[in-house]
Structure 1
Amino acid sequence: MSIVQEDLAVAPGLTWGLRAVTEAAARAAWDCIGQGNKCQGDRAAIDAMGDGLDRLGINGLLVIGEGSQEESPRLYSGERIGDPAQPPRYDIAVDPVEGTSYLAKGMTNAMAVIAMAPHGSLFDPGPAFYMEKFAGPPQVRGLIDPDSPVEEKLNVLSRTLGKKVGELTIYVLEKPRHRDLVERLHRAGARVALYPAGDVAGAVMAAIPNSGIDALMGTGGTPEGMLSACAIRAMGGEFLGRIDPQLASEKLAVLEQGMDIQRWWRCEELVTSDQVHFCATGITTGLLLEGVERCQDSEKTHTMMVSGTTGERQFLTTYHRLRKAGAD
């Protein structure tokens, strides 16, 4: 029986199919690393990911895509994948290049990411582009009060993980909006891992016990937050998210849709089914994944696959044979 014919609830093999999609996107973006044009790399990855989804033969709805149809003619939010005459079976979240600006600069943590869950199970953030997040390992699930001060969150992590506060490492995006957060973390004695991009990688690592990252805190993209929530739901970790508009126009759009910007959403509310599948392939080498490496006759990719149906996570290194020019 093919992946297409199986129900998601009993199809851990779907994760294996999705990895071909993220690997294709990462390989397509490789040529644009350090070339200074973020749109070029993003477009190459979008086309490759879209082609891969078409070949997979699924029937789904892109809940988290590349913006509106006006912004991206392919893989836009609301796009139907597969037969539009049939009701969607899956909700899909994609980020063909997580970290487009940093891909263009040849910097760390760029990767291609996709997640899929039964239709109706993914939270639709609408116009919300930014989200404040907390991510942590399974040990702290249900123990973190998202409205508590940073210092109290550190104390809960310390008690639960059996570490001194000074031994905790918190992943934070290196942004001006996080200056106060970083100062408070340092004053409390915690270590801070600052990265210019890659909060999906940071959140996923925070959910993996003994990864070297004990938690993620701060505000980043909402699409990245939803992708992180999918992976963390599958792994049984902790993820909390609050819509956190950074621009006046975004805040107005969010409020017009009746969204509560004070409410913290738990992982189980953002992703209501545990039958979720997540894949990420490194484009540039980062904290979680190695980047694409091109040799004379092959390309190496490094992919993380997580299946909510089995609770398994796998890291796969693949060598793809390069077709020679003129070959059939």
Structure 2
Amino acid sequence: MPAFPIISDRNLALELVRVTEAAALASSRWTGRGRKNDADGAAVEAMRAAFDTVAINGTVVIGEGEMDEAPMLYIGEQVGAGGPAMDIAVDPLEGTNLCAKDMPNAITVVALAERGNFLHAPDIYMDKIVVGSGLPEGVVDLDASIETNLKNLARAKDRDVQDLVLCTLERDRHADMIAHAREAGARVRLLTDGDVAGGIATCLEDSGVDIYVGSGGAPEGVLTAAAVRCANGQMQGRLVFEDDEQRARAAKMNPGKDPARKLGLHDMAAGPVLFSATGVTTGALLRGVRFYPHQVVTHSLVMRSSSGTSRFIEAHHNLNTKVWPAQ
């Protein structure tokens, strides 16, 4: 049972859609123009302004970086118009390169949890494994081989390994895992960027993705965990450290806990969670922003862990009354 009233829970979920819509509308003006920093900056500015209308007392715990690295939506920034104390995880434009090049799967993302319920993840890598709902607990394991995980997943789904689709980022560090997955018979869907959409896709029946595996950004891992919680999927993760400084930073952000421990889903996103994403460019998860003579259409996904409900929302924005950010 959420600590905040159920009506507030529902209203907040819909308010989050307006936040991700605002960021998507702003960044869409830069789609295909080869200027990823401008696209990201537009998304950040629009998302920050939209938060001023949301009835929360929010603290950014996953954001654009530290205060000296990001002018807005920095870690520790206070946002919202006042209300329940909430932690906020944001990626104003997940897939800046995808937006700049007009490639699939650029999205804007926000997640909310009660204070203290998100993993405070530094901007380092995280190993991740994700599957959808309706499967035996522990059907896959981060420490098992990819062959074992595919075999166990296929058995749980009453399918052959050859029927499974594994999704991962196309990176040199994944080359061996990809080769072993293909040798086992699985098909592999490669992403150039944007692993949040890839992880969430495992929880959507019509996405064609059965499992997501690989290392990507730790902040994106927390956002993925929020969505997977809402969808009743399964996920494990582990922070990857390149040096002692990164390990010490992770330990400082989560005192009293082993920074190198294997993380379960509730270690990354606990308690009642709300999640929203809006498409910027069309991909497997969401349709991108579409322009028409007198309106702009957005496509969003909003999810609540307390109910397990996922809603796809298509919004038609009237160009005659919509206030657009400067280009």
So what's the TM-score if we normalise by structure 1?
0.90
Does the CA contact (< 8 Å) of 2:130 and 2:199 recur in 1?
A: yes
Given candidates 7, 13, 16, the residue that maps to 1:15 is: 13
Counterpart check, 1:176 vs 2:169:
no
Alignment-derived partner of residue 287 in structure 2: 290
- Partner of 1:228, secondary structure, is helix
Query: How many angstroms apart in 1 are the aligned matches of 2:64 and 2:284?
Result: 24
Deviation at 1:210, TM superposition (A): 5.2
Q: What is the aligned partner in structure 1 of residue 220 from structure 2?
A: 224
Paired residue for 2:233? Answer: 237
Aligned sequence identity (%): 37
Q: 1:299 aligns with which of 282, 296, 309?
A: 296
Corresponding residue number in structure 1 for 2:125: 130
Within the candidate set 37, 44, 47, 1:46 is matched to: 44
Give the structure 1 partner of residue 63 of structure 2: 65
> In the alignment, what sits opposite 1:276?
273
Question: 1:11 offset after TM fit, Å?
Answer: 1.7
Q: Deviations over 1:197-234 (max 9, x none)?
A: 22111111112345310010001111111111001111
TM superposition shift of 1:176: 1.5
Kindly indicate whether the alpha-carbon contact (under 8 Å) linking 2:55 and 2:84 is maintained by their aligned counterparts in 1: no
CA shift for structure 1 position 7: 3.7
* Paired residue secondary structure (2:139): coil
Q: Structure 1 regions of 5+ residues with no counterpart? A: 1-5
Contact 1:61 1:88 in 2 (8 A): no
Q: For the residues of structure 2 that align with 1:307 and 1:324, how far apart are their CA atoms? A: 30
User: In the alignment, is the contact (CA less than 8 A) between 2:302 and 2:312 conserved in 1?
Assistant: yes
Q: Report what 1:319 is aligned to.
A: 316
- Number of aligned residue pairs: give it: 314
Partner of 1:25: 23
- Matched residue, 1:3: none
Determine the C-alpha separation between the residues in 2 that align with 1:279 and 1:168: 27
Q: What's the CA shift for 1:140?
A: 4.2
Contact map agreement 1:284 1:290 (CA 8 A) in 2? yes
- In 2, the alpha carbon distance for the partners of 1:98 and 1:117 equals 20
Indicate how the Cα distance of structure 1 residues 10 and 161 shifts in structure 2: closer, same or farther if over 3 A, else same.
Answer: farther
Q: 1:298 to 1:188 in 2, by over 3 A?
A: same
Deviation at 1:324, TM superposition (A): 6.9
RMSD: 2.1
Map 1:204-219; keep pairs closer than 5 Å.
Answer: 204-209=200-205, 211-219=207-215
Whether the 8 Å contact between 1:199 and 1:224 is mirrored in structure 2 is: yes
The amino acid that maps onto 1:113 is: V
Tell me the TM-score normalised to structure 2 length. Answer: 0.90
Partner of 1:67: helix, strand, or coil? coil
Q: Are the aligned partners of 1:26 and 1:111 in contact in 2 as well (CA < 8 Å)?
A: yes
Residue equivalent to 2:100? 104
Report if the CA contact (8 A) 1:283-1:291 is conserved.
yes
Structure 2, gaps ≥5 residues long: 252-256
1:105 CA displacement: 1.5
Which residue of 1 is the match for residue 114 of structure 2?
A: 118
Quote the offset at 1:52 in angstroms: 0.6
CA contact (8 A) 1:141 1:237 kept: no
Q: Is the 8 A contact 2:113 2:270 kept in 1?
A: no
- Cα separation, 2, equivalents of 1:114 and 1:222: 15
Distance 1:135 1:208 in 2: 12
Report runs of 4+ in structure 1 exceeding 3 Å deviation.
Answer: 6-10, 255-262
